[in-house]
A and B are shown apart, each in its own frame.
Chain A
Amino acid sequence: MLAKKRPKYLNLIQIRLPPAGIASIMHRISGAGLFLILPLLIYLLQLSLGTPQDFATFKAVADHPLVKLFLIVVLWGFVHHFFMGIRILLIDIHIGVDLPAARASAVLVTAVGVLLTAILGVKLW
């Protein structure tokens, strides 16, 4: 018997994910990123709540343009994870399960993640 030559698109560049798939993998990536960055965020919390000298250090660190840019990326991770999480919770209680609704909510979540981060990023700069 001949081995079947099924198309196996394991090449990440060839895989075309639907909107829900994109929003889903970004939920995973943002979650992993937030986990990895957690010690830095706790350290910033400690500085912000510490002595006035600690607070001055916090301001100096957070005001650095590269740090700010990095924190805005972290903010995007949080915002996307936050709204995608709400979408998952709603689907868990059977709200928006049909394909058109699920597709629309995935697009909405991804768009809100980018837009809200942009607005907050500009405000916080």
Chain B
Amino acid sequence: MVKRIVVGAHYGLVDWLAQRITALVMLAYTLILVVSLLAGPAPSQESWRTLMSGTGMRYASFLCILSLCYHAWVGVRDIWMDYVQPVGIRLLMHTLTLMALIGYAGWTTQILWRL
């Protein structure tokens, strides 16, 4: 019998698990948002702003955008790893992806907290 000893820092497992957990967060957020919109008053900018500025909803939106960025990081990184073979270009794509996603997280947080 071959004893297979797994060594390493398990970054792959962490990312795999994180992609699943962040997916569940976004799944829950989608359901909350859909139910809130269907159960809420007739859609207007006022009702939309009121919904998104509630403390609970703001926290949920914040959690969702952070999850989205982590989730997209793992997914988009996988795409670069599959299709971009030259190491230099791949490193550049990884860097640009990370920078874009961190920026999006900051931008969305600003939108939510300005309300």
Contacts and interface: CB of A to CB of B under 8 A. Distances in A.
Do A and B come together as binding partners?
yes
Interface of A: 28, 31-32, 34-35, 38-39, 42, 45-46, 48-49, 52, 55, 82, 85-86, 89, 92
B95 to A, nearest CB: 15
Nearest to A46: B111
Contact of B115 (A34, A49, A92): A49
Contacts of B52: 49
B45 A48 contact: yes
Contacts of B100: 38-39
A89 to B, nearest CB: 6
A42 B108 contact: yes
B104 A92 contact: no
| Interface of chain A, main secondary structure | helix
Contacts of A38: 68, 72, 100, 104
B108 A82 contact: no
B27 A49 contact: no
Nearest to A45: B111
B23 interface: yes
B111 A49 contact: yes
Contacts of A45: 108, 111
Contacts of B49: 49
Interface string B24-58: 10010010000000000000010011001000000
A45 B110 CA distance: 12
A119 to B, nearest CB: 14
Contacts of B114: 49
Given A42-B107, A49-B49, A86-B27, A35 B72 contact: yes
- Which 8 residue pairs across A and B have the least CB separation, nearest first? A55-B45, A46-B111, A35-B72, A31-B75, A85-B23, A35-B76, A42-B108, A42-B107
Contacts of A55: 45
Interface string B88-102: 000000000100100
Contacts of B20: 89, 92
B9 interface: no
Nearest to B44: A55
